[in-house]
Amino acid sequence: MTKFQITILGCGSATPTTLHNPSSQLVNVNEKLFMIDCGEGTQLQLRKFKTRIGSLHSIFISHLHGDHVFGLPGLLASLSLLGRTSDLNIYAHKEMDLFLNPFIKYFGNPFSYKINLIPLDPHNHQLIFENNSIRVFSFPLKHRIPTNGFLFEEKERPRHIKREMIDFYNIPIRQIKEIKSGADFLTDDGKIINNEVLTTSPTPPRKYAYCSDTAYSPEIISYIQQIDVLYHEATFAETESVRAQETFHSTARQAAEIAKAANVKKLVIGHFSSRYNELSALLNEATAVFPETELAYEGMIINL
């Protein structure tokens, strides 16, 4: 089974604290590294957790608040100093031009590599990236400015061919790929062997979704149904629900309600307000609704 691993680099909100870094994550799919958000200090976190920074494939920015992008200029400069030559795609809202272009013009010319800014649609669900292993979708969240969540979805794998069937029917090696893709097998005497006899169902595709920042938004449930792991912001406890509503953030309980309604397998909550030095109240609040909840922390590794 290929690697599908998430590393939490930062799970705090607004300002860095001694407990938490601002938002950033790495998604490793088959040894390709995809970064989600790039808060202040992200490149230091990359080194702290011994990440192969040169293997960074693409960057996905959920929205243009500082705690999600202030680490980006420094990271881009470091990649150039390290001699990167391959293009870097940054998926972000079109206003990213206003943030990055002055920096690139003043500090970055000439960079050793090309940066491609690919605009996100803040209003619609869309496929934004695809390769042989995965698809990445973006979908709208509910925040003060245009904000998107991301779904990383493994492509469906081939069916499993039964080894004993290969031997029993003397299936040529050249036909195994077709059978694993769903084809029946025709024996030398003209008998058709149905694919269901020869194979078993493939392992279900693994799926991971990232939802930060967002107010409580049942509209996203259809995009994240039955996924393996959901990362959902839980900036506040229910005692601060008015503040959550005013700032378009979620409480831990609301994050759990979304996970429960979407029938996900596991919920990881993060984007914690700096007012919380101790997070057990947030965890208790969420697990009361959705028991399969964990607190995010810097250096947390999630294997799907």
Residue 97 is among the residues annotated as catalytic for this protein: no
Phi, psi of 6 (to 5 degrees): -115, 135
Which entry of 37, 67, 189, 213 is annotated as an active-site residue? 67
Cβ atoms of 93 and 146 closer than 8 Å = yes
Give the number of residues written for the chain.
304
Cβ atoms of 169 and 192 closer than 8 Å = no
Question: Hey, what long-range contacts does 279-288 have (CB within 8 A, 24 or more apart)?
Answer: 281/237, 281/252, 282/234, 282/237, 282/252, 283/252, 285/237, 285/238, 285/251, 285/252, 285/253, 285/256, 286/234, 286/252, 286/253, 286/255, 286/256, 287/256, 288/253, 288/256
Which amino acid, 110? P
What b/e string do you get for 33-42 counting C-beta neighbours within 10 Å, with b at 16 or more? bbbbbbbbbb
Cβ atoms of 254 and 211 closer than 8 Å = no
Neighbours of 190 (CB within 10 A): 6
And the tokens for 187?
A: 């024996």
Catalytic residues: 67
